[in-house]
Structure 1
Amino acid sequence: MHTFRKYKNSHLQVPVKAPLHFNEETGNAERAVLTAKLKTIFSEAKEQQRAVVFLCIGSDRYIGDSLGPLIGSMLVENGVSHPVYGTLEEPVHAFNLKNALKDIQKKNSNPLVISIDASLGTKEQVGDVLFNEGPLVPGKALEKMLPEVGDYHFQGIVNYLDPLPSSQFLNDTRLHTVMKLAKLITQFILDSDNEQ
């Protein structure tokens, strides 16, 4: 879990000029842009013999942090053709993230990692998704020192910052919001998966 912020673009084959934002109300034209972007990323990774890996970060112990594991489980259940790390059964979180990263490097050929995590934003951003090039910083909202992860990343904005202690959002996040975001992100990935 981290707070919403923009990341500097790195030098990858498929640059994302600016973060792509979408939500439940995003129109078909905007959805097509994201789907095309993901298809291009998958296609170029295949050409470069890079394994696309989904790293779904979070814990199933808190609703506010369960977005990643929910998406990981949905991807596996729907037969996504790429390796998935982080599910409800086997979540990837602060205590095992470094081991998961080692395992990804060990078991996958020159992996291209797409990381997915829950995020905090403004009240108006709740329910939005950000897709961007470059890594995300998991645990940032809780001031945890974790490695940056991903060549690309999805952030689902599950709640907003307020005067409560920073960890309080974990208990105040609505499951309905998390489920909507999980289904939305999963569907975009499945619609873009060239191997299906």
Structure 2
Amino acid sequence: MTLLKSKLKEIFSKAKQQQREVVFLCIGSDRYIGDSLGPLIGSMMLENGISRPVHGTLEEPVHAFNLKLALKDIHKKNENPILISIDASLGTKEQVGDVLFKEGPLVPGKALKKMLPEVGDYHFQGIVNYLDPFPSSQFLNDTRLHTVMKLAKLITQIIIDSDKEE
């Protein structure tokens, strides 16, 4: 996690030098436990006083139906932002509970075969469940709240710690 915090601090520092705003886009819906990771993190970041713009909370989630509108809003309010997107993801059984952080865009809804725009200059993925032979919609319903909360707290803490130390 120390490596991840230093990477985020580096991104924050680079953004400051380039006079660009770092914006967080937390994707998901509070209607499915497995898809609530993004909105949970968005709400937790705001509760912890993050100094950067956050889009996507439990109160106002950003999901498949309003993602394009949210992106328009972000780019209208922030000239050339550095966008860090956050979403729940499916992986292997061994990956459940892992946090991935990558440079480049996130493809939301990919596991459920949804056609949504790629988002983010960087992205976090929290592996909330694994692919199983059940119908795809079951993955989100069968995800444990404990796993989602644990990932949400971990990712939020990494971001908040990096933001405070910047």
Counterparts of residues 25-104 of structure 1 (less than 5 Å) = 31-104=1-74
1:110-137 alpha-carbon deviations (Å, 9 max, x no partner):
1000000000000000000000000010
* 1:155 matched to 2:131: no
Return the offset for 1:57. 0.1
- Structure 2: how far apart are the matches of 1:109 and 1:75? 22
- Consecutive unaligned residues of structure 1, counting only runs of 5 or more, are 1-30
CA RMSD of aligned residues (A): 1.0
Could you say what secondary structure the match of 1:141 adopts?
coil
User: CA offsets, 1:82-114, max 9 Å, x none?
Assistant: 000000000000000000000000001210000
* DSSP-derived class of the 1:110 partner: coil
Cα shift at 1:195: 7.0
TM-score normalised per structure 1: 0.83
| 1:49/1:110 contact within 8 Å kept | no
1:173 aligned residue: 143
Give the SS at the match of 1:140: coil
In 1, Cα distance between equivalents of 2:99 and 2:112: 20
Q: Aligned pair 1:107/2:77, yes or no?
A: yes
One-letter amino acid matched to 2:15:
A
In structure 2, C-alpha distance between the alignment counterparts of 1:195 and 1:48, rounded to whole Å: 19
**Rounded Cα–Cα distance in structure 1 between residues aligned with 2:48 and 2:110:** 30
Name the CA distance, whole Å, in 1 between partners of 2:91 and 2:31. Answer: 21
2:132 is paired with a residue of what secondary structure?
coil
Tell whether 2:118 aligns with 1:118.
no
Greater per-residue helix proportion: 2
Q: C-alpha separation between the residues in 2 aligned to 1:106 and 1:81?
A: 19
1:184 equivalent to 2:162? Answer: no
Q: Which runs of 4+ in 1 moved over 2 A?
A: none
2: CA distance between counterparts of 1:151 and 1:143?
22
Equivalences, count: 166
Look up the equivalent residue of 1:129 and give its one-letter code. V
Partner of 2:104: 134
- Gaps of at least 5 residues in structure 2 are none
